[in-house]
Chains A and B, each alone.
Chain A
């Protein structure tokens, strides 16, 4: 299989799996295999926002007044968020677009990744307003050991998939010798790598990001850094959609209807998936140790954040159909819910228009039976 930007073959799109089928040709959405991706696209578009809409003047003053150890918590958390969105702004495109086989999923991936670039731009907006020298903070992301260590764990699956897929598209299946190294490329192994990559992306957006949100909101809970919290609310709204996207992809894969081999792979990977969730939870707890190394802040400390890691990890692993790891059923940070909810954030006027359009597009007389065979 080699990649082509417009596949000349005629084939039935509805018979393609999500990945590793025919490369996409016509970007058409009149027929859809998985309607959910179209829904996600529409929702994401209705969320459009610009970081510059949020005023950060008070945050600058708040930041100066923060004790040093809290400045460390705030900036380190922001650096971690910057790292995660740097990865997310490009990786879904680079990793998934060459192997995607459904137009609605291709467009969802592009829409998803685009929204991440808004997140990245918002960190620059925050830094410019809050610290005198943003460059120092950005530069530290590639220099600080604690951060770079985080980078390895969030990128290794992506990188492995990208490398294998590039060999696959150039050379096809088989045993190849590249620069003196013998590499075995087979489709089943590639699918396995794809499945695990998707799990690691779900972990990135549904666990790692939420831990960082907790830190951002802990400041705002004390009426500090509230402009920052408003931006994070908008980011959290997008991330909620993204994690729903990866949950759907993982569940469709596991169901095996789309690609039976993928179903088998999902079944055989359960231990490894659990391991990915567990590792992430441990890494997040270790990170909490670094955040709070010079002291806690009111309302949040290493211990409570670690409990939140357990809780959110369980929520997310259960959502993809695996048993919980920690049996942590109680949210130790109950106040986070209303921060995570974005109903109350001021948004650009076009959103109101678009969401009312979306509501209007639904038949209000629809019966639940109509949802019965949704491909959810």
Chain B
């Protein structure tokens, strides 16, 4: 791990083997570096990064495993949304059938839920489960209280009632 980055310690493999990256290049750092040809008119990268381009509840091909001869169960999901500006509660009646996670299902039905990781480790999507049961498709790591669930990594097992805070 003592590979020198000093270009003076010259050997022919120096260019392909640099453990700590870019330092040598910057000996000739210049603000007018000719390599810079930024395309300033392009869209923010974020636009090509949005996670769901299709409706998770109306998929063209379902990501869930189809069970032979069985209809995929539809679970009613009733949502109390407390996030309104003046503490007024909103109610949404939606259903879960095809999505990979409860979070995706809610998003597909225009119920916005906070998220960051979408993998159960950040806790952003923490939601209160008032009624019903869920199944975790991934081991949840974020801290949750006994009456809470992480919609990003679970799917309903029964009809559920949840409260978004």
Chain A positions near chain B (C-beta within 8 angstroms) = 36, 39-40, 43, 50-52, 57-58, 60-62, 64-65, 125, 128-129, 132, 220-223, 226, 229-230, 236-237, 240-241, 243-244, 247-248, 251, 315, 318-319, 321, 327, 329-331, 334-335, 337-344, 359, 362, 366-368, 371, 376
Would you call B51 and A247 a contact (CB within 8 A)? no
CA distance A330 to B23 in the complex (A): 43
A132: B residues at CB distance < 8 A: 29, 31
Would you call B135 and A368 a contact (CB within 8 A)? yes
If the complex has contacts A58-B38, A248-B143, are A368 and B21 also in contact, measured as CB distance less than 8 A?
no
Q: How far is the CB of B19 from chain A (nearest CB, A)?
A: 10
- B49 contacts the other chain (CB 8 A): yes
Main SS of chain B's interface residues?
loop
Q: How far is the CB of B89 from chain A (nearest CB, A)?
A: 11
Chain B positions near chain A (C-beta within 8 angstroms) = 20-23, 26, 29, 31, 33, 35-40, 42-46, 48-51, 82-85, 87, 112, 114-118, 121-124, 126, 133-136, 138-145, 154, 157, 165
Pick the contact of B117: A128, A222, A335, A341 (CB < 8 A): A341
Would you call B157 and A368 a contact (CB within 8 A)? yes
Would you call B141 and A129 a contact (CB within 8 A)? no
Would you call A223 and B138 a contact (CB within 8 A)? no
Would you call A340 and B116 a contact (CB within 8 A)? yes
22 of the cross-chain contacts (CB-CB < 8 Å) are: A36-B141, A39-B139, A40-B141, A52-B20, A57-B36, A61-B38, A65-B40, A128-B26, A132-B31, A220-B44, A220-B45, A223-B42, A236-B116, A329-B85, A335-B46, A338-B51, A340-B116, A344-B48, A362-B139, A367-B135, A368-B154, A371-B136
Pick the contact of B49: A52, A65, A247, A344 (CB < 8 A): A344
Scoring B42, B46, B112, B142 by chain A CB atoms within 10 A of each residue's CB, the highest score goes to: B46
B114: A residues at CB distance < 8 A: 315, 331, 337
Q: How far is the CB of B163 from chain A (nearest CB, A)?
A: 12
Would you call B35 and A57 a contact (CB within 8 A)? yes
Would you call B118 and A319 a contact (CB within 8 A)? no
If the complex has contacts A58-B36, A237-B117, A244-B141, are A319 and B45 also in contact, measured as CB distance less than 8 A?
no
Would you call B143 and A229 a contact (CB within 8 A)? no
Pick the contact of A319: B39, B46, B123 (CB < 8 A): B123
Complex: chain B residue closest to A47, CB-CB: B121
If the complex has contacts A125-B22, A240-B121, A337-B114, are A329 and B82 also in contact, measured as CB distance less than 8 A?
yes
Pick the contact of A226: B45, B51, B134 (CB < 8 A): B45
B46: A residues at CB distance < 8 A: 220-221, 335, 338-339
Would you call B122 and A241 a contact (CB within 8 A)? yes
A319: B residues at CB distance < 8 A: 123, 126, 143
If the complex has contacts A50-B21, A128-B26, are A329 and B121 also in contact, measured as CB distance less than 8 A?
no
